[in-house]
A and B are shown apart, each in its own frame.
Chain A
């Protein structure tokens, strides 16, 4: 191991202010909707008003005659385009406007382009369609729905669950349901597409610009090198930006056909049907245990909603296979095709739902056994991955429980339901475990040190608010031995070295390892230059025996014998020196360890009005093992943000589909409720554990684990407060009356 790598680093890195903060607080950070190009026209979408059937005829004449209208695309005149790639997340969405078939309410059926946004919007309302409607399937449990069995090949069967269930001293059977949720980042998704000949430049709300580039190239049959996708600031994603959606392709298609740059900004209602949502589902849990709380059986099955076409990765039950030590386990996930818009991963996909069921069931088991819920989890803790017997690369879950219980004051809890009260408020304490396995993909980065001694590091990643700009600059500054203000990290441009998506809690680790590699190679290049120079104090010093401090490379422990980047470049008459780095996800079998994701323990106090059923979250303590934390401030914000998302999911969020028409009945921010400031108490966040042993940076990713466990902790606290076991999300006050 080189000395650069082996320098001792703290678990929790300094809470540095975001480097992009000044732009964000002054309104100068440019989001996709903020870009304009000369001569641009404006697009507006027309969406279907039936959920199933076909279009018999489009009526576009009135729209075409409306003021300012440049053109109207429908399936009758739109050019056929290719479908995008099959990525690690699955197949791309079907191409837009390719036939007369309608598979969900709110499907794009026309695209109107006009000189101004007002004209485009007004003309879009003039487009009419004659339909031949068929009866839509809208109920997840409709027996007519086609089921996809084990769609991800992740179903588990271990041991003999039937025999173990028959012999278990205590058994439990429960059904849990979770609602459709909609990502709803505050930034409306926007696309601005401009062609110059066969070259396409696109500003797009995306968490994965290189994938959008590939998709556009395949759509229009042009080389990837002819497409550039830019997204320096995203405006929130939460998963909605992980695909090249039909409206993106449509905007580029219109720009090509009409020979004008075209800009489209989705409306808030369109955000409910155009960019995915968290799918609803039903989960069936069967648990068998000994009387002293040893888990013998976990049988976790799910049915998850899916659209008629397209696909979604959402294995609700999968983590039950490794969350606890349990010899007999079945996990099975099924998807049901119904006439809804396609779901897509939303912050903590699968875990948000699966963990709600599992951790609620464990609370129920704890009550059945008369055992403390923390104690039950301690008894079933596992330090090895039950799937393969390998030790985890890092798992400080026991510390999470211990620290969390202490900070929360768990010992003050009287376990009897309805036993704690503050005036008319019933007080409840609940807890849950959380885990989120990170999803890493190959990444590349390029690092340059310039003649003035400053560094520029680049990769085609995005910063969706997680702090990528900041933590990558911090990592590069650390590796290069430069002050942070001498390092700039650029991202959001598909022309830069390839990056994985900002998703799956994997970017910080995977990209961090690529940045780490690029910087190490760059230092090595500098050292090798100096090594050969008679005049250099580094002459003859082996490249592995150096470290970098204050812009100077020097032998380990001897800063007096160093030479600066500036001096080395000047002597060799170079304006800059560049190195490329890359990373690949570690392979468990090579490591001899199973890759641990982030872990956490969540402790929640709720208050329920005894008469009105009003539910308030009063306190949340989140203790997180996120491996090495690069920036205490931004990482804490990730946990806070996940917690707020979890509160929203548990108390409010419910995308309501009309059971007859398939129309989303609450597709506005006035009707689809999310947590607001007054819904959120002070949140306590603590990081514990050690740098993860799986990769060089030691991070695990903290973007999603903050949300996981909040729902069951609240539901368990509600049971403690009221004696009512709520197995359905969201928990609305009518359930508590």
Chain B
């Protein structure tokens, strides 16, 4: 076991490239010194403790890490933290208004639009953006434009029902 004792005393390591980045998340600025390889997703989760944004693949294929950059949905795992500097970042933690949950969140609960809940923050961030994009006009449209967000529990019909209801109530006006 002594063979694997701490090696932190070893010198001669190449310097890590770091950079100071100011991220504005849910209206609050945060200044961080970051390894340039750090994605927006890992900066949010590991450095700012905003763990509501989920890592489902880290390859841009599942949608669990969906956040908004200047109001548009992006995949935080495919965005370097440094790329998000100077832009308005909104995460699931910033979606609820002062007067409670966003109508999309309420509709997800009412329609049981989730099971294990892991993909849910990403689904909700996509749904909120989808309504702002004007893509919630029909069930077919909702299905198509929500298809970048995988749900392995298979809650899709309930997700569609939740978005349909939130859209019909003008949920996209709720503070975003």
A residues near B (Cβ < 8 Å) are 17-18, 20-31, 33-34, 36, 64-73, 76-79, 116-119, 122, 183-188, 233-238, 257-259, 265, 267-268, 464-467, 633-634, 636-638, 640-645, 668-670, 674-683
Contacts and interface: CB of A to CB of B under 8 A. Distances in A.
B101 A676 contact: no
Contacts of B115: 236, 464-467, 637-638, 641
A21 B49 CA distance: 21
Interface string B30-74: 000001011000100110010111111111011010000000000
A645 B120 CA distance: 18
Contacts of A30: 51
Contact of A187 (B46, B91, B116, B159): B116
A33 B51 CA distance: 9
Contacts of B106: 25
Contacts of A77: 1, 3-4
A725 B45 CA distance: 49
Contacts of A233: 116-118
Given A641-B154, A642-B154, 18 more contacts: A18-B112, A20-B117, A26-B95, A26-B101, A26-B105, A69-B7, A77-B1, A185-B152, A265-B55, A268-B59, A464-B116, A467-B115, A638-B115, A644-B154, A644-B155, A676-B156, A682-B157, A683-B157
A669 B57 contact: yes
A5 to B, nearest CB: 29
Contacts of B152: 183-186, 236, 238, 645, 674
A116 B7 contact: no
Given A117-B46, A258-B6, A235 B118 contact: yes
Contact of A25 (B35, B108, B116): B108
B173 interface: no
Contacts of A636: 112
B92 to A, nearest CB: 4
A643 B158 CA distance: 13
A67 B14 contact: yes
Chain A contact residues, majority secondary structure:
loop
A23 B51 CA distance: 12
Contacts of B8: 70
B109 interface: yes
A275 B14 CA distance: 35
Contacts of B133: none
Interface in B146-166: 146-160
B117 A17 contact: no
Contacts of B56: 186-188, 268, 669
A317 to B, nearest CB: 27
Given A27-B92, A640-B154, A668-B61, A17 B143 contact: no
Given A70-B6, A71-B6, A186-B151, A118 B55 contact: no
A677 B143 contact: yes
Greatest chain B CB density within 10 A among A67, A72, A679 is at: A67
B11 to A, nearest CB: 9
A674 B156 CA distance: 12
A23 to B, nearest CB: 8
Given A117-B42, A185-B152, A641-B115, A27 B144 contact: no
Nearest to B62: A669
Contacts, number: 223
B16 interface: yes
B10 A65 contact: yes
The 4 closest A-B pairs by CB, nearest first: A27-B52, A644-B154, A465-B115, A24-B117
B118 A187 contact: yes
B6 to A, nearest CB: 6
Nearest to A706: B154
Which of B116, B147, B156, B158 counts the most chain A CB atoms within 10 A?
B116
B98 interface: no
B171 interface: no
Contact of B91 (A27, A185, A464): A27
B96 interface: yes
A67 B57 contact: no
A235 B54 CA distance: 10
Nearest to B35: A118
Nearest to B4: A71
B150 A22 contact: no
Contact of A677 (B55, B105, B118, B146): B146
A187 B59 contact: no
A668 B59 contact: yes
A257 B55 contact: no
Contacts of A183: 152
A150 to B, nearest CB: 33
A245 B38 CA distance: 28
17 contacts: A21-B109, A24-B114, A26-B52, A26-B95, A28-B52, A33-B54, A234-B116, A235-B54, A235-B117, A236-B115, A267-B58, A268-B59, A669-B57, A677-B149, A677-B160, A680-B157, A683-B157
B28 interface: no
Given A27-B53, A69-B7, A185-B118, A633 B112 contact: yes
A20 B116 CA distance: 10
A179 to B, nearest CB: 17
A465 B58 CA distance: 22
Interface string B123-147: 0100000000000000100111011
A678 B147 contact: yes
A430 B61 CA distance: 33
B13 A641 contact: no
Contacts of A78: 4
Contact of A674 (B4, B13, B116, B150): B150
Contacts of B45: 34
A21 B6 CA distance: 43
Contact of B35 (A116, A265, A680): A116
Contacts of A682: 139, 157
Given A185-B116, A186-B150, A676-B147, A118 B38 contact: yes
Nearest to B36: A118
Nearest to B14: A67
Contact of B64 (A186, A644, A645): A186
Contacts of B116: 185-187, 233-237, 464-465
B84 to A, nearest CB: 17
B106 to A, nearest CB: 8
A236 B114 CA distance: 11
A34 B51 contact: yes
